[in-house]
Amino acid sequence: MVSIDKVGYGEYLLLAEAPMFKRRYTANGDIMLGCTIGCDFCIYRMIDTTIPYFGTGELKRLATPEEFAESVSNSRLISERSLVIMGARGDASMYPNDIPKMLNTAEKLGLTTKFLALRRAILDKTVKHQLADYPQLYYGTTITPKAIETGSPVPDYLQLKGLQNVTDFLNKVSIEVGPVTPNNIDAVKGILKELKDMGWEKAMYRGVTVGSWGVERKEAVEKMIKLGFITPEQAKQALESPEYFYGVKNNLDSLMEKAIQNMFEEVGLKAYRYAGQFYADNWDLPVPLTRRNKIRSDILEYAKKVQYPNKDLEQQLDYLGYYDHDVKWSNEHGIRVAYVNTKIPITEDVAMYLGEVTGVAIIATNYLHSPNKEVLKHYLKYSFLGIPERAKKNIMRKLN
Ligand code: SF4
């Protein structure tokens, strides 16, 4: 178990209890926690509170479809332009019938947010029908090269077959190819070629991720080495990282990355390194201009295309209960930057929301990457993530 005093404990609690648990350039949520597919390399098999629901056949309901829509509606960290993920801690194929119910409730509540259902196996026809019926719904899938050898039971050829069903919706489906490891990189080009032949024009590629919360970091890293999944350098980085959740995230060494980019070029597909670049470029998502309290230079080119809501920063700080704020402005890299000082720390969740609605790069002088127990109380008081009462009570019990 993780100690209550650890920085990030708030996020650790949300991860196990709340439908919406994290806000980055998307708001991440799940109707059910868990996934019966159970890929060996899944990060949620490296976190003590999620381990019981991955690859075991057991799932935990976090919300009814109606409650999920209400959570989105009640969350102050989700705007009318946000993209909300379903299947962030699992896979949206665990609850295909809940998705239309959720979307119908969202419509009744007048929500204009977009939803992105993440599914590894995209084969069945429900995906096509839902894409046709709901303009606000997008789908996303990850294809792992040499899936079986790499540790996913969903074969890559079946995923490609599934994508054939949805070629009428090229602009409503995002495809990630990954995790790419030294052992499966030779299969990447074949996948890209098939995608191109089907009519797809772009895709993302991903590196490897290793995490550990409440489990021995060393054991998680050793398991990934055994799977042939990480290089010795990535293993070292994972072991030395001060981060609890991610030791390494979406990491690719530079030679592998260059090789993948060449493959995209040779095949004639547009490559995206990060999902934020893809969402801004294709789905007009107002992506925040910072990450980890620094200007995110990889996003600036893509962000130029996006129309931001340009809401007033100081009013938004009041809306989130940061009444004591002080803001200093500057211009850097051709964008507006706000240095925001507050008594209660600004977390990555909050900076991402503010960045989305203001179009300004937010640098917090009192910054915490993820909420500790005190900041989590502020989240609950101001309904940052629209947590339903039952989950709220469970979280409060663990906080007091
Ligand atoms: S399909 Fe996704 S969520 Fe499910 S086990 Fe595999 S990586 Fe994890």
**Bond from prior residue into 179 cis (ω within 30 degrees of 0):** yes
CATH, domain range 9-286 = 3.20.20.70
In terms of C-beta density within 10 A (0-12 exposed, 13-18 middle, 19 or more buried), how is residue 148 classed?
Answer: exposed
Q: Which strands form 20-23's sheet, in the order they lie side by side? A: 20-23, 27-29, 83-86, 114-118, 137-143, 173-177, 202-205, 270-272
Q: Strand, helix or coil at 16?
A: helix
Predicted pLDDT of residue 165: 92
Distance (angstroms) between ligand 1 centre and the Cα of 80 equals 29
Q: Decide if 62 contacts 32 (C-beta within 8 A).
A: yes
Lookup: tokens for 28 = 């991440």
Closest by CA to 71, choosing from 33, 104, 44, 105, is 105
Distance (angstroms) between ligand 1 centre and the Cα of 58 equals 14
If one compares 157 and 234, the residue with the highest pLDDT of the two is 157
Atom of ligand 1 nearest to the CA of 120: 1
pLDDT at 230 over 80: no
pLDDT at 243 over 70: no
Atom of ligand 1 nearest to the CA of 87: 3
Distance (angstroms) between ligand 1 centre and the Cα of 93 equals 10
Predicted pLDDT of residue 1: 63
pLDDT at 320 over 80: yes
pLDDT (mean) for 353-366:
98
pLDDT (mean) for 344-349:
96
| Ligand 1, CB within 6 Å, residue ranges | 35, 37-39, 42, 44, 54, 90-91, 120, 152
Predicted pLDDT of residue 241: 72
Q: The dihedral of CA 385, 389, 390, 394: what is its sign?
A: positive
C-beta atoms surrounding 137 within 10 Å: 22
Composition of the chain by helix, strand, coil, percent to 5: 40, 20, 40
Backbone angles phi, psi at 266, to 5 degrees: -60, -40
Lookup: tokens for 368 = 């915490």
Which band of pLDDT confidence, cut at 50, 70 and 90, is reported for residue 228?
confident
Predicted pLDDT of residue 2: 65
pLDDT (mean) for 380-394:
94
Atom of ligand 1 nearest to the CA of 118: 2
Summarised one tens digit per residue, pLDDT across range 284-304 is 999 999 999 999 999 999 999
Closest by CA to 70, choosing from 395, 389, 397, 349, is 389
pLDDT at 176 over 90: yes
Which band of pLDDT confidence, cut at 50, 70 and 90, is reported for residue 7?
low
Strands 367-368 and 346-347: parallel
Q: Which protein residue has the closest C-alpha to ligand 1 atom 7?
A: 42
Cβ-count burial 74-87 (b if 16+ within 10 Å, e if not): bbbbbbebbbbbbb
What's CA 144's distance to the chain center, in Å? Answer: 17
Summarised one tens digit per residue, pLDDT across range 54-74 is 999 999 999 999 999 999 999
pLDDT at 254 over 90: no
Lookup: tokens for 198 = 């089907």
Distance (angstroms) between ligand 1 centre and the Cα of 121 equals 10
Distance (angstroms) between ligand 1 centre and the Cα of 90 equals 6
pLDDT at 245 over 70: no
pLDDT (mean) for 260-269:
97
* Residues forming CATH 3.20.20.70 domain(s) in the chain: 9-286
Which band of pLDDT confidence, cut at 50, 70 and 90, is reported for residue 239?
confident
Atom of ligand 1 nearest to the CA of 154: 1
Q: Which protein residue has the closest C-alpha to ligand 1 atom 4?
A: 35
Backbone angles phi, psi at 138, to 5 degrees: -120, 160
pTM for the predicted model, two decimal places: 0.93
Predicted pLDDT of residue 343: 97
Angle among Cα 373, 41, 236 to the nearest 5 degrees reads: 75
Closest by CA to 284, choosing from 114, 164, 139, 149, is 114
Q: Which protein residue has the closest C-alpha to ligand 1 atom 8?
A: 42
Predicted pLDDT of residue 70: 97
**Which of 30, 43, 45, 120 has most ligand 1 atoms within 8 Å of CB, for mutation?**
120
Q: Which protein residue has the closest C-alpha to ligand 1 atom 5?
A: 38
How many Å apart are CA 98 and CA 237, to the nearest integer?
A: 39
Predicted pLDDT of residue 211: 72
Pick the range with the lowest mean pLDDT from 185-194, 244-253, 296-305: 244-253
pLDDT at 252 over 90: no
Which band of pLDDT confidence, cut at 50, 70 and 90, is reported for residue 216?
confident
Please, what is the average pLDDT of the chain?
92
pLDDT above 90 covers a percentage of the chain that reads: 76
Pick the range with the lowest mean pLDDT from 1-15, 177-191, 313-327: 1-15
How many Å apart are CA 56 and CA 58, to the nearest integer?
A: 5
Lookup: tokens for 184 = 């499966």
Distance (angstroms) between ligand 1 centre and the Cα of 45 equals 9
Predicted pLDDT of residue 9: 80
Which band of pLDDT confidence, cut at 50, 70 and 90, is reported for residue 125?
confident
Residue 276 makes CB contacts below 8 A (sequence gap 6+) with 25, 285, 287, 296, 299, 302
